[in-house]
Amino acid sequence: MKYRSFVLKRKIEAVAIQPFVWIGRLIAALSPAARQYSHVYFFPFYHIGGAEKLHYQIAQATGGPDCIIYFTRKSNSTFFLDEFRKSGCEIRDISKLTDNKFLYFLNLVMRGVISHRINRQPKRPVVFNGQSNFGYKISPWIGSAVPQIELIHALNTFSLIRLPFLSFYTRSITVSQEIVDKHRILYQDKEVPLYAWQKFSYISSKVKLPVEKKYRSDSEAKPFVVLYVGRATDEKRPWIASAVAKALAQGNDQYRFEFAGEVAARIPQDEKRFCHFHGDVQDEEILGRLYASSHLLIIPSLSESGPLVLMEAMARGAVVISTPVGIVNLHLKNGISGFVINALSTDQEVAAELTLYIEKLYRNREELARISEYSVDYAFEHFDLSTLAREYQDLFYSLTPGT
């Protein structure tokens, strides 16, 4: 289906749902908002995840007491909720209304309620959509005078969901030039108009670096620690890490495999005894010490938008071995700053290749130490969170009406 067909489908749907949107606008008119907001954010979740971490970083950099965040999907936990609160923004979880398939009409009504309140503000806010389905669906109902920004993390299912809504966004942002290029190929295939290409750019993801740059001095330390950090989703595939743990630790007690994240339920029973589970680690200092005490971080993911764990690990001297996902190829050069394996789609092939690289570095500690030192230098040069804050602040300022 080409771009024009996506747009036509959206317009037909708009006609069908318009009565519900009008009901929402009537409700909003009868109960006007008590406050005005300079920025309105739509985020899906506040549970643990790399995308959620980037979202709260953006909110902390650009938000404040005169801003509001809408969470539009049911979160699995409250892991990052306090980080969003640190932004100073008003927080509203509307997922009971917008993420209920049995009462879907409420989602349509809420499009009317929120769009009416945005449109009626004397001073137009900046609207930011952090890959929220609801954020896309409400965008046509927001007035054209209101600048809207979208953040798309990777080439994924949202890449097609967002197509019929591109004309409503003033700027489209992603996290790397590689992802911009991938979307431009998609645009070409779908015959997307040139204007959408021209407003698509990237702001590289960043992380909070350690206060002090420290190089590892324990590359020879025993046991040899391999770390996995992430959720237990089909995309993250923690069971590949546990398969590697069984393959290596079963016959060699010098290996130790650590897991940060609630992943134990997805690990085969016969592999659990080779794994040390920490659950979700909410304390940044504790997580930092896990990175710093690990020789390696492995990323067996099938798909990623970041991953931010790559940056966090490199900054603390853990050498990263990863599948070729997200921004990995941009930052990891084999034998220099880490290793990118060739396998991706088949679990057994990924596990086998990860095992080979781990064994290689286990035997060659000098190479491990050299890559670890380079990784720290590279992270401090490229991943400083303060630069991300400035870039997003500049973006919001450039689109703020009246500035």
Write the pLDDT tens digit of every residue in 314-368.
999 999 999 999 889 999 999 999 999 999 999 999 999 999 999 999 999 999 9
Angle between helix 365-382 and helix 347-363 axes, rounded to 10 deg: 110
Instruction: Check residue 403 and give its pLDDT.
Output: 63
Instruction: Check residue 305 and give its pLDDT.
Output: 77
Fold of the domain built from segment(s) 3-205+386-399: Rossmann fold (3.40.50)
350, 344 Cβ separation under 8 angstroms: yes
Instruction: Check residue 188 and give its pLDDT.
Output: 96
301, 309 Cβ separation under 8 angstroms: no
Tokens of 8: 């036509």
359: nearest Cα among 339, 376, 379: 339
Q: What is the DSSP string of 239-268?
A: HHHHHHHHHHHSS-TTEEEEEEBS-GGGS-
**In the chain, which stretches have pLDDT less than 50?**
none
Instruction: Check residue 178 and give its pLDDT.
Output: 86
Helix residue ranges, H only, 316-364: 328-331, 347-363
- Which amino acid would we find at residue 245? A
As a whole number of angstroms, the distance between CA 292 and CA 286 comes to 10
Please identify which residue in the block is written with the tokens 């590289």.
Answer: 204
Residue 260: HSE in the Cβ half-sphere, 13 Å Cα cutoff: 23
pLDDT per residue over 208-225, tens digit each?
999 999 998 877 888 999
As a whole number of angstroms, the distance between CA 273 and CA 264 comes to 11
What is the pLDDT of the chain when averaged over all its residues? 95
Instruction: Check residue 34 and give its pLDDT.
Output: 83
Residue 229: phi and psi, rounded to 5, are: -130, 120
Residues of the chain with CATH 3.40.50.2000: 3-205+386-399, 224-383
Angle between helix 308-315 and helix 284-292 axes, rounded to 10 deg: 70
Pick the CATH number of 224-383 from 3.90.700.10, 3.40.50.2000, 3.40.50.1580, 3.90.740.10: 3.40.50.2000
Instruction: Check residue 334 and give its pLDDT.
Output: 98
337, 331 Cβ separation under 8 angstroms: yes
As a whole number of angstroms, the distance between CA 174 and CA 322 comes to 21
